[in-house]
Amino acid sequence: MAPSDSLAPALSLRGLTKRVPGGRTLFEGLALDVAPGEFVAITGESGAGKSTLLNLIAGLDAAEAGDVAIGGVALAGLDDDARTRLRRDRIGFVFQAFHILPHLSLAQNVALPLVLQQARAADALAEADRLLAAVGLAERGGDHPAQLSGGELQRVAIARALIHRPALILADEPTGNLDPQTAERILEVFTAQARGSGAAVVLVTHSERAAAVADRRLVLGDLGLVAADV
């Protein structure tokens, strides 16, 4: 895989166009640069294509036109395996539905990205325990997901997204399944940990409160990606 350019944006979109089956255009000609360490929130109405945009950035979907580059590495021209390795090394994910594997312990869930990068199990699990403590789940590494609440599960997901020190974190409605109080706490944890890691963050959300923590707010709509205060 081509090495990243340290001066390049953490994420760069150029002329991105996506249509859905049936011919409707979701967005056309999107452009966006996210600097390393920058926190960007994207809001928009349901059906605007926010999650689709995240899938395109992650290389999980293909656009009809345009380019996506992660740390200067263009996804176009990479085959599926190469895109998969790029995700493994440079991107962390936080999902609305948490997606914590029920049959693994909390520590194993968090350690998974490091294990996939060929880290030794002992080292990965130790780092996982450290991150679990950082998100407020100290000494819980041996527990299983069934023993946790929704908020606790999302903390585990945040720890998993950070353990391999990704250059870019993609968060899709991370507080969407949480009650307001829990959502507030999770937002604090997520913001603190993400900023502390130095990773760039693209957060997709309906929540004004969640969007408010970002350095830059964008709205995805008929006009494409525009600043929120336009």
Partner 1 sequence: MSEALGLAARWMAAGEWRAHPGRVVTAALAIAVGVALGFAVHLINASALNEFGRAVRTVNGEADLRVRAVARGFDEMLYSRLARTDGVAAASPVVELAAAAPKAGDLTLIGLDVLRAARVTPSLVASQGAGPGAVASQDVAAISPALLAATGLRPGDSLSLTANGRTQAFRIGGVLTGAAEGQKLAVVDIGRAQWRFDRLGRLDRIDLRLAEGADRAHVARVIASQLPADAQIADAQTDARASDNLSRAYRVNLDMLALMALLTGGFLVYSAQSLSVARRRPQFALLRVLGVTRRALLVQVVAEGLVVGAAGSVLGLGLGLALAKGALALFGGDLGGGYFAGQTPDLVFAPGAAALFLALGVAAALIGSLAPARDAARAQPAVALKNLGDAVDPRAAPGAAVAVLALAAGAAAAFLPAVGGLPIFGYASMALLLAGGVAAMPWLARRLLSPLRRTSFGVPPLDLAVQRLWGAPSQASTALAGVVASTSLLIAMAVMVASFRGSVADWLEQILPADLYVRVDAAGQGLSPDVQMRMAATPGVARAEFARTAPLRLSPDRPPVVLIARAQGWDASVEGLQVGPSRSPAPGTVPAWVSEPYARLYGKKPGDVIQLPLGPKGAVRASVVAVWRDYARQSGAIAVSGVDYARLTGDRTASEASIYVAPGARLETVTSSLRAALPADLRSRVQFAQPRQLRAFALGLFDRSFAVTYVLEAVAMLVGLAGVAATISAQTLARTKEFGMLRHVGVLRSQITAQLAAEGALLGAVGGIAGVGLGFAMSQVLIHVINPQSFNWTMQTRIPLGLVAGVGVALVISAAGAALIAGRRALSADAVRAVREDW
Residues of this chain that bind partner 1 (CB under 8 A)? 51, 55, 58, 60-61, 80-81, 84-85, 87-89, 93, 95, 97, 99, 101-104, 108, 112-113, 115-119, 121, 146
* Distance in Å, CB of 201 to partner 1, minimum: 17
Min separation Cβ 12 and partner 1, Å: 21
Task: Return the number of the residue (154 or 213) whose C-beta is nearest partner 1.
Answer: 154
Q: Nearer Cβ to partner 1, position 88 or 165?
A: 88
Contact 72, 66 (CB under 8 A): no
Pick the closer one to partner 1 by CB: 177 or 182: 177
In the complex, least distance from residue 17 CB atom to partner 1, rounded to whole angstroms:
18
Using the structure block, give the residue that is written with the tokens 């990479």: 78
The string over 125-144, giving b where at least 16 C-beta atoms fall within 10 Å of a residue's C-beta and e elsewhere, is bbbbbebbebbebeebbebb
* Spatial separation of the C-alpha atoms in residues 206 and 41, rounded to whole Å: 10
Residue with tokens 């953490």: 10
The nearest distance, CB 88 to partner 1, in angstroms, is 2
Query: Rounded distance, CA 220 to CA 42, Å?
Result: 7
Q: Which two tokens stand for residue 53?
A: 């945009």
Identity of the residue, 51 or 182, whose beta carbon is nearer to partner 1 in the bound complex = 51
Q: Which is nearer to partner 1, 100 or 213 (by Cβ)?
A: 100
Q: Which residues, other chains included, contact 40 with Cβ-Cβ below 8 Å and sequence gap of 6+?
A: 32, 34, 200, 201, 202, 203, 214, 215, 216, 217, 218
Distances (CA, A) of 201 to 172, 223, 227: 11, 23, 16
Please state the closest distance from residue 91 (CB atom) to partner 1, in A: 8
Find the shortest distance in angstroms from Cβ 212 to partner 1. 27
**Look-up: residue for tokens 């190469």?**
82
CA distances to 105, 130, 217 from 137, rounded to whole Å, are 13, 9, 30
Indicate the residue among 44 and 113 with the shorter CB distance to partner 1: 113
